[in-house]
């Protein structure tokens, strides 16, 4: 898996964890400061690696209750989130390493074969 994709997936995991910690804290009236500080530090280390548009999209989807902002391309032409068939051009862009936004569910689609091949 390339470093860019690893960064995206790591950022998604951190954003989801941050959202859960803050949501849990609001319900209980307290924040586990140590956990939140660790998450913030890790997020900060990724800010220079991930493009702002992708960071914002991941954060927005997670805040809006979508735990999987990044999904793999499935069967060479389907969104791994909502299973919409991508256009040939969209699928080609994903296979070339771009991250494409699904027009139906707004998730970011990446090349799942690349992730499997590098594991």
Per-residue pLDDT tens listing for the chain (119 residues): 688 899 999 999 999 988 888 777 666 666 555 577 888 889 988 888 899 999 999 999 998 988 899 999 999 999 999 999 999 999 999 999 999 999 999 999 999 886 555 54
User: Is residue 72 classed as helix, strand or coil in its secondary structure?
Assistant: strand
pLDDT at 22: 79
- Which residues fall within 8 angstroms of residue 97, CB to CB, at 6 or more apart? 2, 4, 111, 114
pLDDT at 61: 92
**Cβ atoms within 10 Å of 9's Cβ, excluding its own:** 16
pLDDT at 119: 47
pTM: 0.77
Question: CA nearest 62: which of 5, 25, 24, 16?
Answer: 16
Give 109's strand partners: 71, 100
Q: Where are the domains of the chain?
A: 3-63, 70-118
Q: Quote the radius of gyration of the chain (alpha carbons, Å).
A: 15
Residue pair 81/71 in contact by the 8 Å Cβ criterion: yes
């Amino acid at each position: 898996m390339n470093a860019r994709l690893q960064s995206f997936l790591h950022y998604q995991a951190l954003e989801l964890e941050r959202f859960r910690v803050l949501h849990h804290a609001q319900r209980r009236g307290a924040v586990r400061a140590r956990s939140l500080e660790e998450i913030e530090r890790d997020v900060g280390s990724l800010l220079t690696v991930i493009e702002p548009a992708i960071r914002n999209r991941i954060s927005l989807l997670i805040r809006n209750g979508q735990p999987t902002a990044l999904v793999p391309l499935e069967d060479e032409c389907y969104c791994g989130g909502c299973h919409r068939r991508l256009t040939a051009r969209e699928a080609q862009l994903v296979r070339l390493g771009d991250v494409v936004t699904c027009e139906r569910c707004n998730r970011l689609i990446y090349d799942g074969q690349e992730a499997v091949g590098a594991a």
